[in-house]
Amino acid sequence: MTDCCCEVTTADAGDDQTVSVTYATLDGNIPTIGCGRWTTSGSAVIKNKKKYNTKVSGLSAGNNTFAWTISLDCKDCPCAETSVDTVIITVE
């Protein structure tokens, strides 16, 4: 059994937002251990998927869900620890 080199920073995608426009700024936490990456299942465009406070555009009316994942995939480490948190941006 291989020991993991460390635990990643717990992901915090920030507070849910309500906007009246089709763009916003995501507000995840800065990882101290691991690397962060934003994803979405919707059609919004994430400007920089690896930046904790990146901008998004092309939001659809209603709820837009984004996941902030912090993992050790960026390191030469024998484990694949991850932490995920989601945020919803609602366009009214």
Q: For 44-49, what is the mean pLDDT?
A: 98
The band of 80, judged by pLDDT with boundaries at 50, 70 and 90, is low
Write down the mean pLDDT value for the chain.
Answer: 90
Structural tokens at position 22: 């089709």
Between 80 and 29, the more confident residue is 29
Record the pTM: 0.88
Phi and psi torsions of 83, nearest 5°: -140, 130
Residue 64 has pLDDT above 60, yes or no: yes
Residue tagged 């635990």 (tokens): 7
Q: Report the distance separating Cα 7 and Cα 33, nearest Å.
A: 7
pLDDT of residue 63: 97
Predicted confidence (pLDDT) at residue 2 exceeds the cutoff of 70: no
The predicted model gives 28-40 an average pLDDT of 95
